[in-house]
Structure 1
């Protein structure tokens, strides 16, 4: 069993980006600028946004964090996004989800200019991805592809079982893994809460992408020997022995499943760092596309 170490793979990507950003600056070009918007003070969101800002600093990007109270009127948030859309110094805009109930995430995503949609959620972005046209790939699915690429895992002809059908992970990764290329050229089965014989289907999977948000859902008897396991889930579970009062659990029962696998991601330290690396690559792409006109 080999661990798919997202910290290691993401660091390699950040090291490459750092060199490319330095070259931009050397030639007198603006460096990428990412603006993150955080509404409220959700603990997990605070952690994620802080990690994104830190990663920007590490590779030499400009980053701006805009905070709003969770009572902010939707119109005020949308007006800020429209302002950023027209700001020529801003390359990427991300609004950290989830949002308060009175704000429509769909409306927020639709308001972001697709040329600055570095999270890859805008309908125009998703449409291009489905058609195989050049675009920003949603950050978590893109991070999974980059992780498979880093470890030189050949996916051609493999059966990939995706558990979860969210617009953020499940659906995009199912499309990307079925696309031509490597990673890609898989036969993909998408499973969800209404799937019959889920365990039986999982046992046929050469690759299992677990993205349903249920701690330790995937058990050892659902995995065949030699499978490749990508655990996207990350849930805070109460743990009185921890200083924080919780520990992080993935969707896979790691201790039981790992011995059966050829490759597996840890939680934390697997897909999470790769999501941030993918976001940085999308932001760099947005910057260079703008400069190329």
Structure 2
């Protein structure tokens, strides 16, 4: 079993992005500028946005963090997004999800200029991705593809099961893995909470991508020997043995599943690090032109 070390890989790829930023600056060209909007004070969202802003600093990006109150109206939030759309100094815009219940995530995503949609959530970005056209690819699926490529994991002709059908991870992941590309050329089965015989389906998989948002959902009896397992989940569970009283686990029962795998991502330190790396790469592409 080998760990797919997202921390190590992201550090390597971010170092390459930092070199590109330095070259842009030395050539008198624009410094990439990422604008983030955080609504409310959700601790997880605070941590995610903080990591993104810190990464911008490390690689030489400019960044703006706009903090808004939990009770901000949808109309006011959309106006802030339009202001960033109209600001020529801003190259990429991200609105940290989830949003308060009174705000439509769909309206927010649709308001972001597709040319600045570095999260890759806009319908135009998703449509171009499906067609295989140049676009911003959703950061988590893109980060997973980067990870597979870095470790030279053979995907062509492999059976892949993606568990979870969200527009942010599961659905784009299934499309990317099935495309005529490297990594890619998998035969993909997209599963979800209504899938019958999930265990049997997973046992036929050479690659499993777990993105269902349920702690320790994928168990050892669902994974065949030698499978590659990508764990997208980040779930906080109670753990009295920890000072904090809780710990992070993925959607995969790591301790039981790992011994059966050829490769597996840890949680934390796996896909999450690659997501930020892919976001930064999208912002660099926004400056250079896709």
TM-score (norm 2): 0.99
In the TM superposition, 1:1-293 aligns within 5 A as 1-289=1-289
Supply the distance in 1 between the matched residues of 2:170 and 2:112 (Cα, whole angstroms).
Answer: 22
Gaps of 5+ in 2: none
Supply the distance in 2 between the matched residues of 1:93 and 1:44 (Cα, whole angstroms).
Answer: 19
Supply the distance in 2 between the matched residues of 1:238 and 1:44 (Cα, whole angstroms).
Answer: 16
- Give the superposition deviation at 1:242: 2.2
Supply the distance in 1 between the matched residues of 2:96 and 2:4 (Cα, whole angstroms).
Answer: 26
- Give the superposition deviation at 1:245: 2.7
Supply the distance in 1 between the matched residues of 2:183 and 2:151 (Cα, whole angstroms).
Answer: 11
Supply the distance in 1 between the matched residues of 2:59 and 2:246 (Cα, whole angstroms).
Answer: 31
Gaps of 5+ in 1: none
Supply the distance in 2 between the matched residues of 1:245 and 1:28 (Cα, whole angstroms).
Answer: 50
Corresponding residue SS for 1:248: strand
Q: 1:53-87: per-residue Cα shift (whole Å, max 9, x none)?
A: 01111110001100000000111110010011010
Following superposition, which runs of at least 4 residues in structure 1 exceed 3 angstroms of deviation? Answer: none
- Give the superposition deviation at 1:243: 2.9
TM-score (norm 1): 0.98
Corresponding residue SS for 1:251: coil
Corresponding residue SS for 2:147: helix
Supply the distance in 2 between the matched residues of 1:75 and 1:64 (Cα, whole angstroms).
Answer: 21
Supply the distance in 1 between the matched residues of 2:53 and 2:87 (Cα, whole angstroms).
Answer: 19
Supply the distance in 2 between the matched residues of 1:90 and 1:99 (Cα, whole angstroms).
Answer: 22
RMSD value, Cα: 0.8
Corresponding residue SS for 1:119: coil
Q: 1:106-165: per-residue Cα shift (whole Å, max 9, x none)?
A: 000000000000000000000000011000000000000000011111110000000000
